Structure 1
Amino acid sequence: MLSIIRETPPHVFGVRATGQVTAEDLKSVLLPGLEVLTTQYGEIYYLLVLETPVENFTAGAWFQDMIAGLKHFTKWKKAAVVTDEKTVEKFTDAFSYVAPGEFKGFPLALLDDAIDWLNIKS
């Protein structure tokens, strides 16, 4: 399930992933949130707090995630993935080398640091 995180700066769209994450979650939460962000600001500052193993994302969710990334490919400025899964954190850091914008992984204990990092516009 995806839920919107309200305690972020206005230019940051944040979601929390818990339990199983489905294509419907991405269609009803992530995609509309990104649309609002790009309409209002013309760029994406994104926070994902991953409190569920990535194995809990369905194939449909991964497909919708790919669509969201490609649809707004040039709009990504910063994305922080906050998780205790070290592999996901390292993958997020490496993603900056192949995609526009900056991507950074943070451990769950550093959620406030992730929000602070996103609050600095690049």
Structure 2
Amino acid sequence: MISTIDGLPPGIDGVRVSGTVTRADYDDVVAPLVAAAAATGRRLRVVAVLDDSFTGITPDAVWEDLELGMRALPLFDGCAVVSDRESVRIACRVAAVVAPYSLAVFPEAQQDSAVSWLVGLPAAGFAIDLRPDEGIAVVRVDRPLRAADFDRLTREIESWSAAHGELGGLVLVAPSFPGWENVEGMVRHVTFVLEEHRRVHRIALAVDGLLPTVAPALAGAVLHPAVKHFAHRDVEAAIAWAAAGQPAAVES
């Protein structure tokens, strides 16, 4: 069965797994949790405690587990699994390498540490800072990119263009290339670049990693704006360079 864990800090959800898990457990506990998060846009940080009594999942629950997992995947900031079972701990360490969110495993004696780890995770997000005086937009990302992010960015650029003309510069700031939440996000990124690149004079990438380093050379052959790479720590230099591309017609 699956039951909720009460008394956790705000923003942290907890589930306890014991005995045999059935589809009804997912319908009664997990599905409402995922649905509520999706409806409100709330990010999920979940501590999952696997009791020693846990014996497995019924066949009809396996499919529900996979289906719910795919729907919940984009909503997660992090998951802390608490278990003393070595097989579970090994599986979690392997999954943590490819999971698009933070995943860690803790022994049963460290359940409080698991909760503290979830609380301490950095907030994930996508923020757009329009700077009229400099004629630029600074975009900060610390999670995989979503299709909705590019829809929002398109609206911002179109609103700017209607009032001021072309945008002087666009600065992308991220610790490393964030990747995409799913294929839809990747496709929307490509269409955004093809549709909007002529409205921007300069693009600065304040992002660490190999791909951002080679991107300017690749983009220079096909894109209208000048593209330049900066180390993540050199955000202010990236902003200054992008702002220098501000067209004379831009109004403050």
Structures share a fold, TM > 0.5?
A: yes
The corresponding residue for 1:60 is 60
In 2, Cα distance between equivalents of 1:103 and 1:61: 22
The TM-score normalised by the length of structure 1 is: 0.88
Matched residue type, 2:80? A
Structure-2 residue corresponding to 1:92: 92
Q: State the number of aligned residues.
A: 122
Deviations 1:60-92 (A, max 9, x none): 222222112101222211001111111111211
Structure 2: tracts of 5 or more residues without a match: 123-252
Tell me the equivalent position of 1:2: 2
The structure whose Rg is larger is: 2
Higher normalized contact order (CA 8 Å, seq sep 6+, divided by chain length)? 1
**Alpha-carbon deviation of 1:35?**
2.1
> How far apart are 1:52 and its partner, in Å?
4.2
What is the one-letter code of the residue matched to 1:79? C
8 Å CA contact 2:3, 2:17 repeated in 1 = yes
Q: Distance in 1 between matches of 2:47 and 2:103?
A: 10
CA contact (8 A) 1:3 1:17 kept: yes
1:8-27 correspondence runs (5 A): 8-27=8-27
Aligned equivalents of 1:93 and 1:54: distance in 2? 20
Task: Note if contact 2:20-2:54 (Cα within 8 Å) is conserved in structure 1.
Answer: no
- In the aligned structure 2, how far is the partner of 1:47 from the partner of 1:41? 19
Q: Give the drift of 1:58.
A: 1.4
Residue identity matched to 2:82: V
* 1:75 counterpart = 2:75: yes
| Change over 3 Å in CA distance of 1:102–1:14 after alignment to 2 | same
The answer on whether the counterparts of 2:19 and 2:54 sit within 8 Å (CA) in structure 1 is: no
CA distance in 1, matches of 2:108, 2:38: 27
Read off the aligned partner of 1:92 and give its amino acid letter.
C
1:120 aligned to 2:120? yes
* Root mean square deviation of aligned Cα: 1.7
In structure 2, the residue corresponding to 1:97 is in which secondary structure?
helix
Residue 50 of structure 1: aligned partner: 50
Residue 35 (1) aligns with residue 55 (2): no
Following TM superposition, by how much is the alpha carbon of 1:106 offset from its aligned partner in structure 2, in angstroms? 0.9
1:88 alignment partner AA: V
Give 3-state SS (helix, strand or coil) of 1:96's partner: helix
Distance in 2, matches of 1:117 and 1:25, equals: 26
CA contact (8 A) 2:14 2:46 kept: yes
